């Protein structure tokens, strides 16, 4: 505990990433999780938003999603992500506010920024978490960070018992966003960027959005295929079913390696994590490094010819049979009802 007697794990700081001047979805997911973790221990939830200007409107959204205080850092030079400048700003804020936990999104930017901050402040970092919760371990309240391990065959719990703050990045799409409450009140604190030209030794000159970036995370229905489509000669049947049901296509690592789906639509530990209302998995055995990417879907339907495939252990509904017979039949029924 610190000098005031408060548990160092109490206060949580969330880096609220902006994309094209708007809050990223993972920022809301992190705030929702933080509001579950901190208040039960008497802690507070703060957010920090960094941008070129006009960040106060975003700050109001973060308060509605649970932040009790939002630090706003504005500088015209920060329209695009600048690694050294963002690192300096976050490290200074962490030193001044001394949170017990710092949470960041495991986005392409977060994957660059988080380790730089952790190294500079001398603490540990657990990357690409799929869940966070508190446990009493050895008489101390600890943040438990859950990540896939051993090539996705196990879910590993990690704690950082000594260093503070504890830092973690969380994959977009694995946590609930929660519902904003416009009646929430909070404090918006403007702080100077305090950066000079020496913090721009390497500059970001342009930001290019990945093709279809974010499309999977926001889809209500996802139809995903695996190497079982080899005998079908590709994923044309998968695409037909997706069109018929009004969903989007995705796939496992083998489907991506075969060139059937782009890497931006690969599901699993090394790809995307999603939580749609309906996830249909076809022709995949259900290895943990794949299923971790959609384990929080509201409804999971599996189709595979092996009735003992692990995918059926997590599916709400399963069909054991040849996808070349089942998928066209399903598509035909759905097409007739449209």
pLDDT in tens, 97-133: 999 999 999 988 999 999 999 999 999 999 988 889 9
Judge whether 330 and 280 are in contact, CB under 8 Å: no
Mind listing the pLDDT tens digit for each residue in 13-71? 999 999 888 898 899 999 999 999 987 677 899 999 999 988 888 999 999 999 999 99
When pLDDT is cut at 50, 70 and 90, the band that residue 210 belongs to is: low
Burial label for 71, CB within 10 Å (0-12, 13-18, 19+), is buried
The hierarchical CATH code for the domain 221-336 is 3.40.50.1220
Enumerate the domain spans of the chain. Answer: 12-200, 221-336
**CA dihedral over 195, 196, 200, 206, signed as positive or negative:** positive
User: Would 12-200 and 221-336 be classified into the same CATH topology?
Assistant: yes
Nearest to 286 by CA among 221, 225, 231, 216: 225
Each residue of 246-279: b (16+ CB within 10 Å) or e? ebbbbbbbbbbebebbeebbbbbbbbbbbbbebb
Q: What is the DSSP letter of 3?
A: T
Per-residue confidence band for 150, with pLDDT thresholds at 50, 70 and 90: low
**Is CATH 3.90.600.10 correct for 12-200?**
no
Measured distance CA(284)–CA(306) in Å, rounded:
10
Across the chain, what does the average pLDDT equal?
Answer: 88
| Band of pLDDT at residue 154, cut at 50, 70 and 90 | low
Q: Which two tokens stand for residue 202?
A: 């390497």
Per-residue pLDDT for 253 more than 50?
A: yes
> pTM to 2 decimals?
0.76
User: By the 8 A CB rule, do 280 and 222 touch?
Assistant: yes
Q: What is the DSSP string of 83-127?
A: HHHHHHHHHHHHHHH--SEEEEE-STTHHHHHHHHHHHHT--EEE
């Amino acid at each position: 505990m610190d000098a005031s007697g408060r548990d160092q794990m109490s206060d949580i700081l969330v880096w609220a990433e902006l994309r094209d001047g708007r809050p990223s979805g993972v920022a809301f997911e992190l705030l929702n999780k933080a509001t579950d973790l901190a208040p039960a221990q008497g802690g507070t939830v703060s957010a920090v938003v960094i941008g070129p200007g006009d960040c106060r409107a975003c700050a109001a959204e973060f308060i509605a999603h649970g932040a009790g205080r939002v630090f706003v850092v504005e500088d015209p030079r920060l329209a695009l992500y600048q690694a050294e400048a963002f690192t300096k700003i976050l490290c200074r804020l962490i030193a001044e506010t001394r949170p017990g936990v710092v949470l960041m999104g495991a986005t392409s930017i977060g994957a660059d920024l988080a380790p730089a901050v952790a190294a500079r402040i001398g603490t540990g970092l657990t990357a690409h978490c799929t869940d966070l919760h508190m446990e009493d371990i050895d008489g101390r309240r600890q943040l438990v960070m859950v990540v896939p391990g051993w090539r996705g065959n196990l879910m590993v719990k990690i704690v950082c018992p000594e260093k503070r703050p504890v830092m973690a990045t969380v994959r977009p799409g694995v946590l609930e966003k929660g519902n904003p409450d416009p009646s929430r009140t909070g404090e918006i604190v403007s702080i100077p960027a305090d950066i000079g030209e020496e913090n721009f030794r390497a500059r970001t000159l342009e930001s290019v959005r990945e093709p279809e970036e974010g499309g999977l995370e926001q889809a209500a229905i996802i139809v995903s295929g695996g190497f079982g489509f080899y005998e079908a000669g590709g994923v044309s049947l998968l695409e037909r079913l997706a069109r018929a049901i009004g969903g989007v296509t995705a796939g496992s690592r083998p489907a991506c390696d075969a060139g059937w789906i782009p890497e931006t639509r690969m599901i699993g530990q090394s790809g995307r994590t999603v939580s749609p209302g309906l996830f249909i998995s076809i022709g995949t055995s259900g290895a943990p490094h794949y299923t971790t990417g959609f384990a929080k879907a509201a409804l999971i339907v599996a189709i595979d010819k092996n009735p003992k495939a692990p995918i059926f252990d997590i599916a709400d509904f399963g069909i054991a049979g040849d996808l070349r017979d089942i998928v066209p039949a399903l598509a035909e029924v759905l097409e007739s009802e449209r």
